[in-house]
Amino acid sequence: IGSRSAQIVSEITQMPGARWFPQTRLNFAENMMRYAKTSSHLTAITVFNELGKQCSYTYKELQDAVAALASTFKDNGIQKGDRIAAITTNSEHAIIGMLACASLGAVWSSCSPDFGESGILDRFSQIEPKLLITCTGYIYAGKVLSLADKISSVVDSLPSLQAVISFNPIDRDTSHILTLNTAKHLDWINAIKSNDKIKLHFEEVDFNDPLYILYSSGTTGKPKCIVHGVGGTLLQHIKELSLHSDVVEGTKLFYFTTCGWMMWNWYISGLALGASLVVYDGSPFHPEKDSLFSLAKAEDIEVFGASAKYFAAAEKFGLKPNKDHPFTSLKAILSTGSPLVPESFDYLYAHVAPHARVSSISGGTDIVSCFALGVPTLPVYRGELQAPGLGMDIAFVDESGVELESGKGELICRTSFPSMPIYFWADESGQRYKRAYFDSFENTWAHGDFGEQSLHVLSDGSVQKGIMIHGRSDAVLNPNGVRIGTAEIYRQVEQIDEVFESLAIGQKWDEDERII
């Protein structure tokens, strides 16, 4: 939804520098809320935590809450380009807050409540938010944790704040007023009170205007503030969720994530396709080890996502959820965060959902999307990502930048794509952005992953290009000149029942390198 132009991209050969749909205008929230008009009674989100189901919203109810909160934002001076920060559980508060923010053309940035005070300030102090949304506490592994002191200190350290909106995710009907020395304080319950006079207005912005600020930590200094654009994020997410993940109107979509991981930004875009999001906050193994699998069965989840580490842990715990009550509704399992090892494919097909498509997907915060992921119409090969993402011109190259037909190398992308960061915050010269991705190879995105491609000839004679990711290229070990991805080592070590987690490092030894 938006006002389109004929021009698709300008300066396509420039990496960075290309601009996608430079004359198109749209609003992200309007595209996310489109089903409030056509399927108003369809469930948009159902929210759970360790205590059970907390609430649900139809698309119409979600739109009303977004309208009310957007009105509160406007009353507190929020306008296009302002930053709204959030310290939030994965709950309706985060989704409503983000949509209200985007409806005004403001910029959203969030982290999870388990972040330490310094971690929060390292991020938010750089972007100078005008308003903060925060939970007053949260529950994890059965423990109720208060954020009162941490929030008070954070607010005192962010002089840009003009207002703070707080909510209690454990008891949604109870207000909890924080004691703050600075900034106007509002309660969530009052902030989303709706009435017939409040109408949701969508501020049209440019395709390449900012939507999200995400963070990527380096080895030194504060995290990089990666700014993602409105149109590129929307376009890429719709492509990946619909064509690669088979999400359609009414699909029950779940991803175990926090609001500090880009997978939260990714999976909530399912609203643009009319998906029914199942939202969960808390420990994945509390109150029972199989809590998430039980939730998937109870809610008839169709697309279930989590980290590769979650699935490895589930196998270590001996969970076999398919044994007594098969997953009849599940059609796809998504995994990311680290490579999904071949043994995890075996486990998922044997003990979770033999009939479902297991899709290991790979991308990152830097592109808020994927370079390689699943394809509903192609076969799944053990230990592999099914294919590159549509429109993603990826390859693997050696240290000199020469493309490899076989063998392991650095993952690159040779052509611009819409979900590249539009810039880094406070990087007026663009040098930090360029150093992050374009220093290794000229006019080529170097992603920092180490992997290889495989070729499979299908029954119709076509060739499927599978992808194997072996870990981060900056973590590649090099004993005797042989490059080894750390994921290859972890895969072998963590097959030992007694090993739950492992770490491999390279140590200089006798003018060479040995692995410890």
Whether the per-residue pLDDT at 197 is higher than 90: the answer is no
Least confident of 4-18, 59-73, 93-107, 487-501: 487-501
Q: How many domains does the chain have?
A: 2
SS3 226: strand
CB 322 within 8 A of CB 351: yes
Instruction: Produce one character per residue of 119-150: b if its CB has 16 or more CB atoms within 10 Å, e if not.
Output: bbbbbbbbbebbbbbbbbbbbbeeeeeebeeb
Answer with the one of 199, 229, 259 that is the final residue of a domain.
Answer: 229
In a domain, 114, yes or no: yes
Among residues of the chain, what percentage have pLDDT more than 70? Answer: 92
Q: How far apart are CA 64 and CA 72, in angstroms?
A: 13
Least confident of 1-10, 179-188, 375-384, 447-456: 179-188
513 pLDDT band, cuts 50/70/90, is: low
Q: What is the mean pLDDT of residues 172-192?
A: 79
pLDDT digits (tens, 9 = 90+) for 350-371: 999 999 999 999 999 999 999 9
Q: Any idea what the CATH number is for the domain that residue 160 is in?
A: 3.40.50.12780
**Based on the number of CB atoms within 10 Å of its own CB, is 393 exposed (0-12), middle (13-18) or buried (19 or more)?**
middle
Distance CA 10, CA 418 (A): 12
Is residue 121 included in any domain, yes or no?
yes
Structural domain contains residue 418? no
For the whole model, what pTM was predicted?
0.93
Residue located via tokens 């006019």:
443
Q: Is residue 92 part of a domain?
A: yes
How far from chain centre, in Å, is Cα 195? Answer: 33
Q: Per-residue pLDDT averaged across 484-510, rounded?
A: 66
For residue 150, being part of any structural domain is answered with yes
pLDDT score for 181:
73
pLDDT, average across residues 411-432: 96
Confidence at residue 476, expressed as pLDDT on a 0 to 100 scale: 53
Across 197-208, average pLDDT: 94
CA distance 76 to 91: 23
Q: What is the pLDDT of residue 221?
A: 80
Percent of the chain clearing pLDDT 90 (strictly above): 81
> Does residue 261 form part of some domain?
no
Cα Rg for the chain, rounded, in angstroms?
23
Given 200, 229, 258, which residue is the final one in a domain? Answer: 229
| pLDDT at residue number 482 | 45
Pick from 19-33, 226-240, 490-504: least confident = 490-504
Query: Is residue 417 domain-resident?
Result: no
Task: Name residue 164's beta-bridge partners.
Answer: 132, 185
Final residue in a domain of this structure, among 177, 209, 229? 229
Give a three-class secondary structure readout of 266-277: HHHHHHHHCCEE
Residue 494 confidence (pLDDT) above 70: no
In the numeric block, the tokens 């060479």 are attached to 512
Strand, coil or helix: 208: coil
Q: What is the pLDDT of residues 294-319, one digit of tens each?
A: 999 999 999 999 999 999 999 999 99
Owning domain of residue 205:
1-11+18-44+53-229
Rounded to the nearest integer, the mean pLDDT of the chain is: 92
State whether residue 205 is helix, strand or coil: strand
Strands (DSSP E) along 378-436, which ranges? 387-388, 394-397, 409-413, 423-424
Residue with tokens 């390279």: 506
pLDDT of res. 490? 63
User: Is 200 a domain residue?
Assistant: yes
**Residue range 422-427: mean pLDDT, rounded:** 97
